[in-house]
Amino acid sequence: MSPVGPADARETGRAVRAHERVWSGPICAVDDEELVLAEGQEPVRRQTVVHHDAVSIVALREGEDSSRDDGAVEILMVRQYRHPVRAMLWEVPAGLLDVPGEAPLDAARRELAEETDYVAARWDVLVDFYASPGFTTEGSRVFLARCLHPLPVDQRIRREAEEAEFVPTWFLLDDVVHAVAGGRLHNPSTVVGVLAAARARAHSWEGLRPADAPWLRSPRSL
């Protein structure tokens, strides 16, 4: 079946007249550029936060694996302090693509294990998005992880800093969908991933993309 509806596409025809990296740190940098948006127009200046891309994981269990008597779908979440917004946020497991050469799926597997002590046997892509394309290169891929099993205790990684507070917790997926709609959850990967998972479940998990599906990542991401 051919794709229907709109589709984003790479645009390389805008002329950059000047470029300067004005600041650089471990997870992002700031570029100042002068570019021409259209022939005959005066150049404009734009500042861009060049950021690592990221992966997130919607980890689900259902049926015999669910803790519910009716086998209802459950989602695995962690609660993390986010200093920029001064808030404790419930989130799906996630992390940056900051290991050179690491494939997104491998990063997702690593983050799931590190943050929740679980591994998954089945992986699909739920959705891709840019975090805030008006000013940053950061893109995010949300994976769907199923057929989960806990890691043996001797293979678990000791969590540090904010992650030391993680307590992996299972919630009913339907309850989390209601929390998103009710404005009680705010992490973008969680909001996008939960709604995409709910849609996929409503369609009997048909049409999911493979874990190595093409991804329109910014060529300028760190």
Average pLDDT, the chain: 95
**For this structure, is 162 an active site residue?**
no
Q: Is 39 a residue whose pLDDT tops 90?
A: no
What pLDDT does 123 receive?
Answer: 98
The pLDDT of 66-83, averaged and rounded, is 96
Start-to-end C-alpha separation, the chain = 35
**Burial per residue of 52-78, b for 16 or more beta-carbon CB atoms within 10 angstroms, e otherwise:** bbbbbbbbbbbeeebeeeeeebbbbbb
The pLDDT of 133-160, averaged and rounded, is 94
Q: Which of 81, 147, 157, 72 is nearest to 114 (CA)?
A: 157
Q: Which CATH class is domain 52-204?
A: alpha beta
Confidence of residue 62 (pLDDT cuts 50, 70, 90): very high
The pLDDT of 77-96, averaged and rounded, is 96
What pLDDT does 52 receive?
Answer: 96
What pLDDT does 112 receive?
Answer: 97
Which regions of the chain carry the CATH code 3.90.79.10? Answer: 52-204
Q: State how far the Cα of 198 lies from the Cα of 202, in Å rounded to an integer.
A: 6
The pLDDT of 92-106, averaged and rounded, is 96
Confidence of residue 97 (pLDDT cuts 50, 70, 90): very high
Tokens encoding 154 = 């001797």
- Residues contacting 187, CB < 8 A, separation 6+: 82, 89, 90, 91, 92
Q: Is 162 a residue whose pLDDT tops 80?
A: no
Confidence of residue 107 (pLDDT cuts 50, 70, 90): very high
Q: Of all residues in the chain, what percent carry a pLDDT higher than 90?
A: 85
Confidence of residue 157 (pLDDT cuts 50, 70, 90): confident
| Amino acid at site 219 | P
Beta carbons of 99 and 109 less than 8 angstroms apart = no
Beta carbons of 32 and 47 less than 8 angstroms apart = yes
Beta carbons of 201 and 215 less than 8 angstroms apart = no
Confidence of residue 3 (pLDDT cuts 50, 70, 90): confident
Q: State how far the Cα of 71 lies from the Cα of 85, in Å rounded to an integer.
A: 36
What pLDDT does 1 receive?
Answer: 60
Q: Is 163 a residue whose pLDDT tops 90?
A: no
Q: Is 199 a residue whose pLDDT tops 80?
A: yes
* From 33, 62, 114, 163, active-site residue: 163
